[in-house]
Structures are given as C-alpha cells and as structure tokens.
Amino acid sequence: MELSLLLLSLAVLLALGAPVAFALGGASLLAFLWLDLPVIVAFQRMTAGMNAFALMAIPFFVFAGEMMARTGIAARLIEVAAAAFAGRRGGLGQVNVAASMLFGAVSGSAVASVSAIGSTMMPMMRAKGYDGDYAVNVTISAAILGILIPPSHNMIIYAAAAPVSVSVSDLFLAGIGPGLLTGLALMATAWLVARRRGYPAEIFPGWGKLARAALLAAPGLMTALIILLGIVLGVFTPTESSAIAVIYTMLIAGFLYRSLGRATFLAAAGGAVRTTAMVMLIIGAASMFGWLFALLEGPSLLASALGGVADNPAALLAVIVLVLLVLGAFMDMAPLIIITTPIFLPLVIGAGVDPVHFGVIMMLTLGIGLVTPPVGSVLFVGCAIGQEQPERVVRTIWPFYLALAASLLVVVYLPAVSLWLPEALR
C-alpha cells in the first residue's frame, strides 16, 4: 500500500508537469506523512545524498564547460570539425556530430552541448538550406555524446550511487569507445538522411585551413587530455581534475585567447551555479526517494520480479535496458541514476556483468531518454534553440533513434567496446 502510494503520487506529479525534483520530493514527503515518520528524517536523507565528496567535481566541470562555451573555445572546436568534414554531402550534419564529440570531451554535459553547439550550428545549417527539423535532430542526438565521452558528471553520480566501489577513471576510459562508436553511427545517419533529402556537399577548405583551425583549437582540447592522463596516471583524483580543468580553462581563455573578461566570467559562474543547484536538488530529492523505496522493500520486489532472468546476463540486461528506456522517457537522468543504480547493479554483478560496463550501458540508455518524449530535456532545449515544434522533430528523428539503438545493442552485448581501454591501461 505505502509503496503504491509513493509511486502513484510520483506519477501524478510528473503527469501534472511538476519539475522532477519537486515531484520526487513531494511524493517522498507524502509517503513520510502517511507512514508517520519524522519529517526531519526526509531532509537528513536529502542532505546525505548531496554530501558526497565525489559530487564536488560536478560544479567544477560545469563551470569549466560554461567558460568554454562563452569564451569561444566551443566555436573553435566547431571550426575544426567544419574544416575536416565540410567536403561531404550534408557535411554540416557531420560537422555538428564531430563538434559535439569534441565539445563533449571538454564539457561532459548533454544540455551544455546542445546549448553551445546548437546555438552556433543550427542557424548556420538553416542559412545553408538545411531543414530545421534535420538541424535539431542531428544536434540533440549528438549531444548524448557528452555523457559518454569523458569527463562526464553523470558517471561521477553513478560511481557515488553504486553500492560497490566503482572507479571513476575506469568509467571515463570506458566511455571513449562507445562514444566514438555512437558518434560514427550518427555521422553515417546524418549523411544518409542528407543524401535522401538532397542536401548539397560543402567545399573542402583545404588542408592548410584545417591545420590552422586544429592549431587554434588544440589548447582547448588539451583540457580533456590533461584530465584523462592525470587521472589514469594517478597524478590527481577526478575531483581534483575538475578544479584543474577550471584553472586551465581560465588561463587559456584569459591569457591565450584573451576572451575571458569580467562580464564573461560572471555569466559563466552564474550559469554554473544555476545548473549545479538544479542538479544537486535533483540528486538530494532522488536520494530521499530512493531511501524510501528501499525502506518499503521496492528493490526486493523488483528483484523477485526479475528472478526468472537473473541467471542469464543477456536476458537480464535486455530487461533492464527496456525498463530504463521507459523510465528515461518520463524522468531526468540524474535521479534515475541515483534511484536505479542501487537496485540494478547488485543484480547484474550477480549475473557476472562488470560494474564499469553496466555504468556505460546506463549512460547511453538514459542518454537516449534525454531525447525521447514526453519529458526529454535535451529534446525540448534543442527545439527551443532551433525554433522547431517538438512534434515535427519527433516525426523525423527516427533514423537517429535507430542509430542510437544499434549503438546501444553493440555496447550491451560486446563488453570489449567499453572495457578494452580501461583493462589495457591498468
């Protein structure tokens, strides 16, 4: 009865359009009152969920991404991609994907990627004769790459929520292979759709321009390399690497590119504060909800329901992926990671699945949820930036859904795609 009340109240609040954090918090508080539990415990659980040292990396990575987007570093990454892929049919679609891969390597956020890349690429694509729905479809699909390609703050949330120890550095390394695979699949899809619609081929600007663009963008791309090598070599922790990313970004933006002024710094800081506050509120509310869900024996009931496939890794992963795809269509990524990781991770470990591999599966699966109606945040942000109706975008996005689904199948059933790099560097 109590568990049904918790889940039903959450569903009602989400259906009424309440923000995810308030829906989770409201459903939890209602259950606390129904169970006659002290309300102070709810806020203690909420605070405990946010009071994790690993989560300190989130505001720093967000801040670094904000500064990169506002100081022209993202624009330089787009110039590199444009010079490299402009000679192909529908080249701007592939440029969009490549730019999202490069920006994902320095921001780690899907929403930041669609905002930074979309605000530049979508008007450019429209001016070159591309349809608005195509521009939005490419941009929002490619934004998922920011979740897979390190650094990814969602991977940090997964490591913090896991009931067993999971290395953040291994997660970062494991995301590179699937990120590249998914990026190539989206590039191929962008080319096929562009060919079917008859979009023109751009003119290749020449190797000289490509080399100059790469040289100008190299300091920004070094951010990802410094973070990754520092973590892998044990020079600093993921949390320390996030602070180093901020300092390095400030140095190159302020002294090399000379694009970081007082107004830009304050705008980036304000954006980082707003994003971090939103993420941490969601994490706290999800932690409170997850604690109640465990108290009411929800994980045990779910484990019993999955008992028939618990010994078959392939079937178990298929069921979990389907559940996460459905949940991801209705709830944001961070709360789902907090709630579902303690439930599903022990099950898949018992079936012999590596926790790092499962983490990458969760990132890609829930990332697809970000571009899936009715709640996909990246979908609606992209539609707002591209000034397109979500209904029109959803009607034509299906080739990109197929590309994402194919990449997901490969990642789920070929663990080596995720695990070869962390295992090679251990």
- With respect to residue 173, please indicate whether it lies within any of the assigned structural domains: yes
d(CA 315, CA 278): 35
CA-to-CA distance for 318 and 206, rounded, in angstroms?
A: 46
- Phi, then psi, of 254 in degrees rounded to 5: -85, -40
> How far is the C-alpha of 177 from the C-alpha of 372, rounded, in Å?
23
Domain assignment present for residue 260? The answer is yes
* pLDDT tens, the chain, 426 aa long: 678 888 888 888 878 878 778 888 888 888 888 888 888 888 888 888 888 777 787 888 888 878 887 887 777 777 777 777 666 666 778 878 887 887 776 666 677 777 777 777 788 778 778 888 898 899 889 888 888 888 788 888 898 888 888 888 889 889 999 999 999 999 999 889 988 888 777 666 667 777 887 788 788 778 777 777 777 777 787 778 888 888 888 898 888 888 888 898 999 888 888 878 888 888 888 888 888 888 887 777 777 777 667 678 888 999 999 989 988 887 788 888 988 898 899 889 988 899 999 999 999 999 998 888 877 778 887 888 888 888 888 889 999 999 999 999 999 999 999 999 888 876
As a whole-number percent, the residues of the chain with pLDDT over 70 amount to 94
pTM reported for the whole predicted model: 0.84
Q: Which two tokens stand for residue 175?
A: 């995301």
The total number of residues shown for the chain amounts to: 426
* Among the listed residues 364, 335, 372, 355, the one whose alpha carbon sits nearest the alpha carbon of residue 422: 355
Domain extent at residue 46: 24-424
Strand partners of residue 89: 201
Contacts of 353 (CB under 8 A, 6+ apart): 313, 316, 317, 415
What pLDDT, on the 0 to 100 scale, is given for residue 3?
80
Helices 39-50 and 20-34, packing angle to 10 deg: 140
What's the confidence (pLDDT) of residue 90?
Answer: 67
The Cβ of residue 117 has, within 10 Å, a number of other Cβ atoms equal to: 34
pLDDT attached to residue 413: 94
Query: Could you tell me if residue 313 is inside a domain?
Result: yes
pLDDT of residue 86: 65
Q: Exposure of 207 by Cβ count < 10 A (0-12 exposed, 13-18 middle, 19+ buried)?
A: exposed
For residue 135, being part of any structural domain is answered with yes
Angstrom distance (rounded) from CA 115 to CA 381: 7
Q: Into how many domains does the chain fold?
A: 1
- pLDDT of 107 reads 62
Which residues, in sequence order, are CB contacts of 16 under 8 Å at separation 6+? Answer: none
- For position 402, what pLDDT does the model report? 95
Residue found by looking up tokens 């992963």 in the block: 317
pLDDT value of residue 307:
65
Smallest CA-to-CA distance from 408 within 179, 191, 192, 167 is with 179
- The pLDDT value given to residue 80: 76
17, part of any domain: no
Classify residue 8: in a domain, yes or no: no
Residue 306 falls within a domain, yes or no? yes
Is-contact 319 382, C-beta < 8 A? no
Using the 8-state DSSP alphabet, how is residue 202 labeled? Answer: P
Phi then psi for residue 201, to 5 deg, are -85, 140
Closest CA to 293 of 340, 247, 328, 259: 340
Q: In angstroms, rounded to a whole number, what is the distance separating the alpha carbons of residues 259 and 254?
A: 6
Q: Are 37 and 19 in contact (CB under 8 A)?
A: no
Residue 168 CA to residue 138 CA, distance in Å, equals 29
Nearest Cα neighbor of 324 from 315, 312, 337, 311 is: 337
Residue partners of 238: CB distance under 8 A and separation at least 6: 54, 57, 151, 156, 168, 169, 172, 231
| pLDDT score for 363 | 93
Q: Within a domain: residue 19?
A: no
